[in-house]
């Protein structure tokens, strides 16, 4: 509210009491002046109008009531006039005040609108826009974090599932050390089986050449039993002779012991005990051959003269010689099979040497080039004696099934070996029966002749 409006309100509150005082003072002055002039209302005398007596300041005698009524009317008239003036003045002031208030309200509204627009466009909206951006950014970041949490959770679940799959795959598809060793040794099985088969064929050919008196490089067995006897004697003197034999009277045969004394008669140490027989050593190969000859006998087949082949006697002698050689070959097939399983050549030492060492095998019993027999012994005997066999079956139960299959395969392989050995033994028994039957033809003939 400005200063003019405030001044108008002050006038109102000042004028009202002033008007009342002036009215009362005028009335008192008129009554005092009448008494001062000696004029009495009772007497009804009134001096002429003049400057000292205002008109109608008094009443004539006998009109007291009229004078009071006149004074009252004049007072009421003055009060009404004053009230009208005050009312008009108040109305004017109120109008001015209302107009000022309306103007102030308009100004306030204009200022408020201006302030609101200024605050909205320059304070609120930019700030709220920044806040909205921050909220949006925070929400986006929260969504990103939530997405990251969900991704992390899903990733953890996937990783757990992957770990379970890896564990299952590990248990299902990862072979134990025992399984791997067995499968690694399978690489040498075909090779050593081929070598064993070739060695049996070579021994059989050598046996036949000795019996058939074939001229081959080496010993002169083609000249008959005498030459074979000389070959065997030379081998005894150089390799097998023991001066302590024959009650210490072998000095005439050998002054010193041979390289392998008595190896030709030691079937256990020469043939059965060694899992691999190193025939690359010449004396060892001679000892093995001599042992087999001592077990089944040499082929003592003499020469058949050329002239006798034109008559039945010479022909029968040659046929009987061949039958004799065939039967000797059957007898030799059993020790030859046993010896062929012990021939080196698998080249699998790197796979079985550690197993055999862990099974407490002696170093001299571990071959640098294991045979079929040594491979099978390592897989079916030594493998279970290392102290490590059962460990891989505890934490990897799937290997039990693999091990069952492996053991079944080894069992079949040993059954096959047993079958091959039984075949030769059966054939040997058949030959033995035939020879016994042939040794008593006269008795059998007489028993079948009628009386």
Least confident of 42-46, 125-129, 159-163, 401-405: 42-46
Regarding predicted confidence, which is higher, 182 or 21? Answer: 182
307 by Cβ neighbours in 10 Å (0-12 / 13-18 / 19+) ranks as: exposed
User: For the chain, what is the largest distance between any 2 Cα atoms, rounded to a whole number of angstroms?
Assistant: 229
* Tokens read off for 389: 């066999």
Q: What is the pLDDT of residue 190?
A: 85
| CA nearest to 300, candidates 247, 226, 217 | 226
> What is the band of 130 on the pLDDT scale with cuts at 50, 70, 90?
confident
Least confident of 215-224, 232-241, 274-283: 215-224
Give the residue-averaged pLDDT of 249-272: 84
Q: What is the pLDDT of residue 451?
A: 42
Instruction: Give 368-393 as a DSSP string.
Output: SS--HHHHHHHHHTGGGGSS-TTHHH
Least confident of 5-9, 193-197, 278-282, 354-358: 5-9
Buried b (16+ CB within 10 A) or exposed e, 173-204: eebbebbebbeebeebbeebbebbeebbeebe
Give the residue-averaged pLDDT of 231-247: 85
Dihedral angle sign, alpha carbons of residues 329, 334, 337, 338: negative
- Domain boundaries along the sequence of the chain: 3-173, 177-438
DSSP label at residue 308? G
The backbone region for 176, taken as left when phi is positive above 0, alpha when psi lies in -120 to 50, beta otherwise, is beta
The backbone region for 344, taken as left when phi is positive above 0, alpha when psi lies in -120 to 50, beta otherwise, is beta
Regarding predicted confidence, which is higher, 244 or 33? Answer: 244
> What is the band of 46 on the pLDDT scale with cuts at 50, 70, 90?
very low
The top-scoring range by mean pLDDT among 15-19, 68-72, 238-242 is 238-242
Q: What is the pLDDT of residue 274?
A: 92
- Residue-wise pLDDT tens digits, 421-431: 999 999 999 98
Regarding predicted confidence, which is higher, 433 or 217? Answer: 433
> What is the band of 106 on the pLDDT scale with cuts at 50, 70, 90?
confident
Find the length of the chain: 451
Average pLDDT, the chain: 78
Regarding predicted confidence, which is higher, 160 or 439? Answer: 160
Q: What's the rounded Cα separation, in Å, for the pair 287 and 299?
A: 17
Q: What is the pLDDT of residue 317?
A: 85
Instruction: Give 202-250 as a DSSP string.
Output: HHHHHHHHHHTT---SSS-GGG-HHHHHHHHHHHIIIII--TTHHHHTG
User: Is residue 177 pLDDT above 90, yes or no?
Assistant: no
Give the residue-averaged pLDDT of 40-55: 46
Q: What's the rounded Cα separation, in Å, for the pair 232 and 220?
A: 11
Q: What's the rounded Cα separation, in Å, for the pair 401 and 207?
A: 47
Dihedral angle sign, alpha carbons of residues 379, 380, 386, 387: positive
Q: What is the pLDDT of residue 62?
A: 46
- What percentage of the chain carries pLDDT values higher than 90? 17
Helix (H, G, I), strand (E, B) or coil at 53: strand
DSSP label at residue 268? I
């Amino acid at each position: 509210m400005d200063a003019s409006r405030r001044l108008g309100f002050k006038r109102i509150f000042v004028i009202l009491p002033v008007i009342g005082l002036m009215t009362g003072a005028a009335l008192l002055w008129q009554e005092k002046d009448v008494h001062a002039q000696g004029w009495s209302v009772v007497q009804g005398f009134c001096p002429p109008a003049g400057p000292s007596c205002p008109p109608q300041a008094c009443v004539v005698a006998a009109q007291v009531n009229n004078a009071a009524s006149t004074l009252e009317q004049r007072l009421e008239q003055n009060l009404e006039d004053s009230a009208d003036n005050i009312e008009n003045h108040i109305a004017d002031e109120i109008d001015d005040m209302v107009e000022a208030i309306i103007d102030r309200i308009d100004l306030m509204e204009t200022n408020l609108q201006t302030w609101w627009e200024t605050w909205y466009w320059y304070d609120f909206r930019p700030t709220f826009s920044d806040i909205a951006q921050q909220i949006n950014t925070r929400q986006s970041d929260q969504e990103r974090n939530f997405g990251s949490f969900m991704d992390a959770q899903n990733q953890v679940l996937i990783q757990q599932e992957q770990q379970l799959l890896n564990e299952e795959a590990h248990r299902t598809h990862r072979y134990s050390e025992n399984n791997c060793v067995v499968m690694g040794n399978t690489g040498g099985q075909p090779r050593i089986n081929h070598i064993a088969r070739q060695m049996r064929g070579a021994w059989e050919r050598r046996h036949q050449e000795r019996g058939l008196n074939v001229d081959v490089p080496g010993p002169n067995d083609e000249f008959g039993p005498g030459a074979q006897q000389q070959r065997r004697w030379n081998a005894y003197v150089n390799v097998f002779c023991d001066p302590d034999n024959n009650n210490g009277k072998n000095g005439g045969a050998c002054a010193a012991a041979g390289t392998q004394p008595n190896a030709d008669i030691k079937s256990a140490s020469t043939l059965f005990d060694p899992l691999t027989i190193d025939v690359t050593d010449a004396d060892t190969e001679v000892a093995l051959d001599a042992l087999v000859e001592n077990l089944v006998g040499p082929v003592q087949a003499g020469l058949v003269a050329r002239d006798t082949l034109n008559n039945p006697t010479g022909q029968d002698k040659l046929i009987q010689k061949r039958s004799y050689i065939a039967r000797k070959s059957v007898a030799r097939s059993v020790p030859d099979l046993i010896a062929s399983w012990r021939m080196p050549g698998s080249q699998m030492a790197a796979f079985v040497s550690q197993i055999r060492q862990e099974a407490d095998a002696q170093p001299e019993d571990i071959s640098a080039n294991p045979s079929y027999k040594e491979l099978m012994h390592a897989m079916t005997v030594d493998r279970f004696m290392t102290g490590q066999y059962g460990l891989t079956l505890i934490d990897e139960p799937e290997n039990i099934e693999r091990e069952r299959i492996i053991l079944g395969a080894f069992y079949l392989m040993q059954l096959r070996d047993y079958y091959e050995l039984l075949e030769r033994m059966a054939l040997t028994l058949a030959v033995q029966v035939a020879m016994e039957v042939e040794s008593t033809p006269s008795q059998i003939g007489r028993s079948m002749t009628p009386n």
